[in-house]
Each structure stands twice: as C-alpha cells, then as structure tokens.
C-alpha cells in the first residue's frame, strides 16, 4: 500500500491520486497539522473509490482493510491482530489471550 504525504497538495491533486490508487488508506489533514494529529478524514480506497470514510483513526482503517479484503492474517502475528480487534476496536474485548491482556494492562498503567 503506497503512502503519500504532502502539506501543499490541493483537493483536485489529492482526488486524482486517490483515483489512481488500487488499494490504500488515506488521511486528509488541514495544512500545517502535525503528523501525529488525527486528521480531518481517514478512509479506505479500493480501485480508486473511497469505500469507507470518516474512520476514527489509522489503526481502525488497517483492521477494516483486512475485513474489507477478506484477508487472512499471518498466524505468527495473531496477537497483533487480536490486539487491533479486541483492544483498539473493542470487539469481543472481554475475552483476551494472556499475552494481549498483559500488554493491555501495561498500556493502561
């Protein structure tokens, strides 16, 4: 998934780039906003069309991209996916594996 960032991109140029994008996550930020700021709009592009808009953060966009594409997550990274799904998105959050529970507790300290 290619990533583009520019503080001087106008709307038409950004729209043109989005139309050329096969699969990706986009973040639209007002000019002068820092990289860590959440952004004005976050969404998912598939075949040049924004199929999901107004997502709360990039982590949610990554997880939803997996669901949108019906991708299987690598088994050696299953705890990462569990963390995305259960901790960040709050889906079935009461049933955590021990490893994810420990990480969640450390983050909440």
Tens of pLDDT, residue by residue over 11-47, are 677 778 888 888 889 888 877 777 666 677 889 998 8
Per-residue confidence at 55, pLDDT binned at 50, 70, 90? very high
- The number of CA neighbours under 13 Å toward the Cβ of 65 is 19
Tell whether pTM > 0.95. Answer: no
Residue 73, classified by CB atoms within 10 Å of its CB into exposed (0-12), middle (13-18) or buried (19+), is middle
């Amino acid at each position: 998934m290619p990533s583009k960032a520019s503080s001087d991109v106008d709307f038409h140029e950004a729209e043109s780039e989005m139309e050329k994008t096969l699969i990706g996550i986009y973040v639209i930020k007002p000019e002068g906003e820092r990289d860590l700021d959440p952004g004005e709009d976050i969404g998912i592009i598939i075949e040049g069309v924004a199929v999901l808009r107004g997502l709360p953060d990039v982590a949610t966009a990554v997880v939803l991209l997996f669901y949108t594409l019906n991708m299987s997550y690598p088994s050696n990274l299953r705890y990462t996916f569990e963390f995305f799904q259960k901790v960040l998105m709050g889906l079935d959050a009461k049933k955590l594996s021990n490893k994810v529970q420990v990480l969640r507790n450390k983050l909440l300290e």
